Amino acid sequence: MAEEYAVRMVNITKAFGTKVIANDRVHLDLKKGEILSLLGENGSGKTTLMNMLSGIYFPDSGQIFVDGQEVTIASPHDAFELGIGMVHQHFKLVDVLTAAENIELGLPGKAVVDRKAIAAKIQEICDRYGFVIDPNKKVYDMSVSEKQTLEIVKTLYRGANVLILDEPTAVLTPQETERLFAVMRNMKADGKSIIIITHKLHEVLEISDRVAVLRKGEYVGDMLTAEADAQKLTDMMVGRAVSLNIERTEPKNTVERLRIRNLTVKDIDGVTRLDDINLDVYGGEILGIAGISGCGQKELLEAIAGLQVTEPGSSVRYFPEGQETDEGEELLGRNPRSIADMGVRLAFVPEDRLGMGLVGSMDLTDNMMLKRYREGRGFFADRKPPHKLAEEVVKSLEVVTPSIETPVRRLSGGNVQKVLVGREIAMQPTVLMSAYAVRGLDINTSYTIYRLLNEQKQKGAAVVYVGEDLDVLLELCDRIAVLCAGRLNDIVDARTTTKEQVGYLMTYLKAPQGKEAQA
């Protein structure tokens, strides 16, 4: 029987609780040998829909057809039996096992494991599609990209014909993304069908054959990629016309705010995470920090914020507003509280929003007072100002929340970030640091964040933007500092540099200049 569709989802509905309808009568068709992009804002139900296809959730109603046959997928095991495999945003690997062990794990088999046969089969899959993988490497030794490759090989090993990739490029460098796309094209040529979830429109346009769009849990429609462009897709996703321009103004009245000298950070095992960083940060400009994840971005921001132990000789000097000193004031050796007590309005939007920037179980009011609960005299905390601030943030940033009293953990990712950024901006910062401020956010919310950062820049704040999307870094920032393996590889002008140059600086460490000699 020649069936055109690998998967058809018909009238799928899924509700969480009584209020949230994640998917409302959604249709989705996936043709054989096709790469389909699934597009939608945060909370539009993409992941929920895919989780129903991979057996993690069970739909409240609706039908799923695989190869024209109606099926019931009640568990991930059922999905595997049907040849459906999903690579999740958060990898599901066992760190202490090797690649081959992870692949074999959970599969039925004899008591004695035939490692040779497994290795041969893995090799065969790798050769066919162009993966590079070392079956004997332990997962904890792997880079993010290797882990992702392993996840894909794992699903193929189990005989998947339909692959679901949930935001696979969010953690990859441009070069790694290109490699992933090449592999995806090979798989497509081999007759596999692929659904890819991504927020990056240029990737949608590059890799997919067709785009399906969800909005607020409903299916909006689909479009051949050949007929689509970024503007059309965004409008479809958001439901109204959205401007996709980042308005970058020329830096005005820039003044030195931070002078970072010889900043070196070692982790608990004595491994150097930041190596002799020298960097100046100016008020009135946006300084981008580019680099493969884990190259010292986190340590850099946390050192400035007073959350990181630094090596002797390191220095971060802060130059207060309106004071003409040559010396500045030393920030290192202080904790966040004493930095705040100095009168430094240092805003920090950390990468781990609910694990560091906010308290998930607390409501908006209590989160607004996180850095300011000491204000006011007396033993008891005054909750009136934070309550008012919470209301203002909800209103001005259009935070979607049932109420001010809702624990922030219940909000969607984009709204969590709005609460965090809103709080940090409310302190009228002189320095605003953000790490991966738009990670996982949809395009509409992302542009809101860019706009807010630009406003801060125009107000004279020194904005530090650690980002992973090079297109955005080049469009948003004034200067970009590129980190590579804990070193500051170069600082480039964002207006004149190309993406390839930055990507190159991220991966190839230049020979250290001047006084130092590499051993």
Partner 1 sequence: MTHSHEPLIHIAKRDGIVWWKGWLIRIAGVVLALIVSALFIYGLTKLNPVKVYGAMWQGAFGTSKRTWVTIRDMLMLLCIGVGLAPAFAMRFWNIGAEGQILMGGCATAAVMLYGGATMPTWLLLVLGFVVSLIAGAVWGLIPAIFKARWNTNETLFTLMMNYLAIQITSFLVAKWENPYGSNTVGIINKSTQAGWFPAIFGQQYMLNVIIVLAVTILMFLYLRYSKQGYEIAVVGESENTARYAGISVKKVIIRTMAISGAICGLSGFVAVSGASHTISTSTAGGRGFTAIIVAWMAKFNTFVMILIALLLVFLEKGAQQIASQFRLNDYASNVVMGIILFFLLGSEFFINYSVHFRHHGKEVSQA
State the nearest-atom distance from the C-beta of 60 to partner 1, in Å: 8
State which residue, 30 or 506, has the beta carbon closest to partner 1.
30
State the nearest-atom distance from the C-beta of 67 to partner 1, in Å: 9
Helices (H), 171-229: 174-189, 201-207
Residues 6+ apart with CB under 8 A from 236: 39, 213, 215, 220, 221, 223
User: What single string gives the DSSP state of each residue in 8-37?
Assistant: EEEEEEEEETTTEEEEEEEEEEEETT-EEE
State which residue, 10 or 255, has the beta carbon closest to partner 1.
10
State which residue, 217 or 503, has the beta carbon closest to partner 1.
217
State the nearest-atom distance from the C-beta of 337 to partner 1, in Å: 3
State the nearest-atom distance from the C-beta of 402 to partner 1, in Å: 8
State which residue, 251 or 336, has the beta carbon closest to partner 1.
336
State which residue, 107 or 113, has the beta carbon closest to partner 1.
107
State the nearest-atom distance from the C-beta of 19 to partner 1, in Å: 6
State which residue, 74 or 189, has the beta carbon closest to partner 1.
74
* DSSP-derived 3-state class of residue 426: helix
State the nearest-atom distance from the C-beta of 69 to partner 1, in Å: 7
What's the rounded Cα separation, in Å, for the pair 161 and 158? 9
Residues 6+ apart with CB under 8 A from 45: 14, 22, 23, 26, 214, 216, 217
What's the rounded Cα separation, in Å, for the pair 247 and 303? 30
State the nearest-atom distance from the C-beta of 173 to partner 1, in Å: 27
Q: Tell me which residues touch partner 1 (CB under 8 A).
A: 10-11, 13, 16-20, 25, 58, 60-63, 66, 69, 71-72, 74-75, 78, 81-82, 305, 307, 335-340, 348, 350, 352, 354-362, 366, 369-371, 373-374, 379-381, 410
Strands 218-224 and 329-330: unpaired
The backbone region for 313, taken as left when phi is positive above 0, alpha when psi lies in -120 to 50, beta otherwise, is: left
Residue 331 in tokens: 């920030």
State which residue, 17 or 270, has the beta carbon closest to partner 1.
17
* DSSP-derived 3-state class of residue 142: coil
State which residue, 71 or 125, has the beta carbon closest to partner 1.
71
Q: What is the helix (H) or strand (E) element at residue 44, kind and residue range?
A: none
Give the bridge partners for 195, in sequence order. Answer: 36, 164
State which residue, 12 or 212, has the beta carbon closest to partner 1.
12
Residues in the chain: 519
DSSP state of 220: E
State the nearest-atom distance from the C-beta of 223 to partner 1, in Å: 25
State the nearest-atom distance from the C-beta of 55 to partner 1, in Å: 10
Give the bridge partners for 481, in sequence order. Answer: 289, 491
State which residue, 123 or 335, has the beta carbon closest to partner 1.
335
State the nearest-atom distance from the C-beta of 374 to partner 1, in Å: 6
State which residue, 230 or 359, has the beta carbon closest to partner 1.
359
Burial state string for 153-173 with b = 16 or more CB within 10 A and e = fewer than 16: bbbbbbebbbbbbbbbbbbbb
What's the rounded Cα separation, in Å, for the pair 452 and 442? 16
State the nearest-atom distance from the C-beta of 335 to partner 1, in Å: 6
Residues 6+ apart with CB under 8 A from 35: 184, 188, 193, 194, 196, 207, 208, 209, 210
C-alpha torsion sign, points 414, 415, 419, 422: positive
